[in-house]
Amino acid sequence: MNSYNLSVNGTEYPVSAAAERNLLSVLREEIGLTGTKQGCDDCECGACMVLIDGQPVNSCSYLAVQAQGRPVTTVEGVTTNGELHPLQKNLLEAGGVQCGFCTPGMIMSALAIEKASDGTEPSDEEIRIGLSGNLCRCTGYAKILDAVKKTLSK
């Protein structure tokens, strides 16, 4: 067992878990933040995407113990005082949420694109590359892209 603190969405959580536990399971089962989803559990689908130090990471394939001292952001951390993030509103308006399972991961990848583009408007290709690690089993990509483009347009 390892005991350490994780900083998730600005809150410090004490964690006591085996070293082999992945970040996804610690977020969901120890901390109780279940917005981040387990899909393939194999680094392929992006449902488990979180931001670590502002960068997108598949939390299924990242050891929780390695996240100590590194700020983690999950989908629960993107709202402000219960108000949906503009991207979340745009996803709802565009019909970019079907079953919703990929949505938290898509949101985190899209926010990473926003951060990487550093105030400039990302190109369609940059958005596609930024979302390329996220699968939508409903295949609703066009509307997801619409919502992300609308959110990141300047």
Which residues of the shown chain bind other proteins in the complex (CB under 8 A)? 2, 19-20, 22, 41-44, 46, 49, 55-58, 60-63, 65-66, 68, 109, 112, 129-130, 132-134
CB of 23 to other proteins, least distance (A): 9
CB of 82 to other proteins, least distance (A): 28
- Residue nearer to other proteins on the CB measure, 41 or 146: 41
CA distance 108 to 92: 16
CB of 65 to other proteins, least distance (A): 5
CA distance 58 to 23: 9
- Residue nearer to other proteins on the CB measure, 77 or 130: 130
CB of 135 to other proteins, least distance (A): 8
From residue 121, how far is each of 84, 108, 118, 151, 153 by CA, in Å? 22, 17, 8, 10, 6
